[in-house]
Chains A and B, each alone.
Chain A
């Protein structure tokens, strides 16, 4: 059992910055925690009722009140100030700090799968050589990736714990997500927002390749995709206009529900 308060090793560029704020807060709160709890226990022992004891008659101390108002205020403002920069870096994908050559991807969530659209060899989405992989996110190491995240039915949450990425996928919205992997390997992709009865198994994997290996993978998959005509269910993820109006739940949805008719009615 893991009783330490360490986060898993970060594998994205902003991951370690996020973690440094986490550890800063951990240290500050741990110190306050120890001070308060120790004081509480010491007071409980020292001032327990004994025969002949009488409590000190005091209504407070304004100087102390000022101290314990100002000090916490300064502390939380410092934390907020330090958080601000990292937050904007991690969450704002269109502010210039995401490099121009970022790999463009599209992730469309639906009950209960992640459909990832790759740009193919031309490196551009919405072209003929795009292809879709279900529940597989393949990325090159050391290169930023910029994902247009959307959902076709309910709210899901795109959670990559090792990359310190979490972003809800909301139907009707296209939300930009970016990060830059720093280590080759296999990592989990999960859904962090309750999305229905299959929520617990809405998972995928992230594979970070060396750059050459990624290019080879993209070449191979792009050629395969050109041979096979993509299934209609997969193209729904490609066309966002269609995605937002399409009858939503399909695929592995239980047959007892009739999503299509309901969806059309509402569309």
Chain B
């Protein structure tokens, strides 16, 4: 393996920018229809942060209804008579809210944030490449995601409203408009996700090709930064999982529009087939949403602790193991679905086993900060929060993995708590860590650390106030997706807790405005970023902030792994990957932005 990797990424296959060659691209080619991976990463960032805001706003509406059922939202009249007459949310609109909150957050916020943004930002820079293997395909990937998002937004404004069958779109509810009361909205939901699937696929083939072929000399597989390992495995999951979803969505669209009955029982269709297809995609999707986050956190933790990542090889193999096991656990979403109970017992076993590589990762993160020299910069705070929160999300997963316990907690707020501990406490804190960490590299300015710390603290506190009590609601038997829990006598005593959660949720939402302000303000007014503000080792930090079009002026050579922090005998506590060992002589000439 070691000899092969030195051969790959030969200059002849890369498009090096000519040093000193003036960048004469038009504004349109430079910022709109750009093929530069860095610009595309920034485009994905803006797009997915907008969707994060939309998804968050929907969550606020959901919490309003649960906190103060049947009362008018202040200013909610603008939602219209069909959704919230007088500002009071209707049950059918509530179902759309929970459906679209999940859809936006999973498909249009977290997934593009992790895969679209960090895949684009980091892959070429981390491996020492000039750009992606297929820059035009990369551009097409972004410009396919945009119409997908617009179609999804448009579905709110058609007659009957947006999809209301849950983000999992269980047939027959999703397949027969008369059952859900949603007509065009549900079809647009399918079309949007089919279009988005093509965007993801274009990204995935690009990532895989780039990582396999375009690593700089010396960038052996076991010298790859962990975000790249995570994104590589994630891209493979995307490549294999998305076509299953796309196929299932096309069948569902046929059932909705052409009168086929793939998922409708009267003519031999199988409602459970939709669930099998959906979760065969859906569980790998869960790991698509967490593996890159784990990679980002590993990078930031090692940097913040000034210490090599603990057990690098075990971290890599844990990612591989999670991805492999992720294909044989989808049935755990279907324990109570009517699937053969013996099959459920099998899926329980595989699901329990997947806890092991997750545990390995957590213990290795602890090992990484143990005896470290911990700098609590804003990315580090968010990365540490990731570890603390992911532990809760991982441990609560053991409850539903146990099939008999799942009988009670399935489809209750316990599940809602679990998924938010993984996707918000996990993925989103990692995303914040990543944005604070790499913002200076791509925008040339630092984000304000004081605002960053305030944003982190408020988010951490309110986040836990929102989602931790949801475990208790679930254990008291409160179901998900219930418009008005007070319909059930036994849930009436839960109202104070629901109101508390809603207050915290509104504050959590408000706290995100600090991030928005910090982000926008720093774009223009932030302190100018040096090439290597975090004293980090990987290749992008040897370049100016932001790096020029084409990235590296000369092909870098990699001499070591990315986590060589606090090496004994060296004065600096970091050691850039491309710095030649002392005995190998002087630095390669003509490089820009070499850290001091």
Contact = CB atoms under 8 A, between A and B. Distances in A.
Contacts of B471: 5
Interface stretch (B52-60, B122-130, B353-361, B540-548): B353-361
A266 interface: yes
Interface in A11-42: 14, 17-18, 21-22, 25-26, 28-29, 32-33, 36-37, 39-40
B312 A196 contact: no
Interface string B41-56: 0000000000000000
A167 B405 contact: no
B281 to A, nearest CB: 19
Contact of A22 (B265, B391, B408): B408
B173 A170 contact: no
B477 A161 contact: yes
A125 interface: no
A129 interface: no
A83 B178 contact: no
B348 A87 contact: yes
Nearest to A32: B395
Interface stretch (B211-219, B239-247, B369-377): B369-377
Given A166-B410, A192-B410, A266-B261, A245 B266 contact: yes
B374 A47 contact: yes
Interface string A97-139: 0000000000000010000000000000000000000000000
A203 interface: yes
A153 B271 CA distance: 11
Interface stretch (A49-57, A212-220, A222-230, A231-239): A49-57
A199 B369 CA distance: 48
B370 A83 contact: no
Nearest to B271: A170
A197 B91 contact: yes
A28 B302 CA distance: 29
B566 A159 contact: no
B371 A47 contact: yes
A57 B561 CA distance: 14
Contacts of A32: 391, 395
A37 B388 contact: yes
A267 B261 CA distance: 10
Given A59-B308, A84-B345, A203-B487, A44 B369 contact: yes
Contact of A69 (B337, B356, B369, B408): B356
Given A161-B408, A193-B170, A194-B165, A36 B402 contact: no
B1 to A, nearest CB: 19
B92 interface: yes
A155 to B, nearest CB: 5
Contacts of A201: 484, 487
B404 A68 contact: no
B182 to A, nearest CB: 9
Q: Please report whether the interface of chain B is mostly helix, strand, loop or mixed according to DSSP.
A: helix
Given A57-B567, A266-B267, A80 B402 contact: yes
Nearest to B345: A84
A198 B91 contact: yes
A55 B391 CA distance: 25
A164 to B, nearest CB: 5
Interface stretch (B289-297, B489-497, B516-524): B489-497
Contact of A77 (B352, B373, B392, B412): B352
A7 B267 CA distance: 42
A68 B181 contact: no
Nearest to B369: A43
B265 A171 contact: yes
B144 interface: no
A96 to B, nearest CB: 15
A39 B366 contact: yes
Given A1-B500, A32-B395, A57-B567, A25 B405 contact: yes
A61 to B, nearest CB: 7
Contacts of B312: 59-60
A76 B348 CA distance: 10
B27 interface: no
A211 interface: no
A68 B500 CA distance: 38
A93 to B, nearest CB: 9
B341 interface: yes
Nearest to A253: B178
Contacts of A5: 471-472, 475
Given A200-B483, A254-B181, A92 B341 contact: yes
Contacts of B565: 55, 57
B399 interface: yes
Given A188-B488, A200-B487, A43 B370 contact: yes
Contacts of B426: none
Interface string A146-161: 0000000111010101
Given A194-B166, A197-B91, A83 B497 contact: no
Contacts of A197: 91-92, 95, 164, 180-181
A141 interface: no
Given A59-B308, A157-B336, A164-B407, 8 more contacts: A25-B402, A55-B565, A68-B363, A72-B360, A167-B338, A188-B477, A195-B173, A197-B164
Instruction: Rank and list the top 7 A-B pairs by shortest CB-CB distance, nearest first.
Output: A172-B265, A60-B311, A161-B477, A76-B352, A91-B341, A56-B371, A200-B483
Interface of B: 91-92, 95, 98, 164-166, 170, 172-173, 176-181, 259, 261, 264-267, 269-272, 305-308, 310-314, 336-338, 341-342, 344-345, 348-349, 352-353, 355-356, 359-360, 362-364, 366-367, 369-376, 384, 387-388, 391-392, 395-396, 398-399, 401-405, 407-408, 410-412, 469, 471-472, 475-477, 479-485, 487-490, 493-494, 496-497, 500, 565-568, 573
Interface of A: 1-8, 14, 17-18, 21-22, 25-26, 28-29, 32-33, 36-37, 39-40, 43-44, 47-49, 53-61, 64-65, 68-69, 72-73, 76-77, 79-80, 83-84, 86-88, 90-92, 111, 153-155, 157, 159, 161, 164-168, 170-173, 175, 188, 190-201, 203, 244-245, 248-249, 253-254, 256-259, 262-263, 265-267
8 contacts: A36-B362, A48-B374, A56-B566, A65-B314, A68-B359, A72-B359, A164-B408, A266-B267
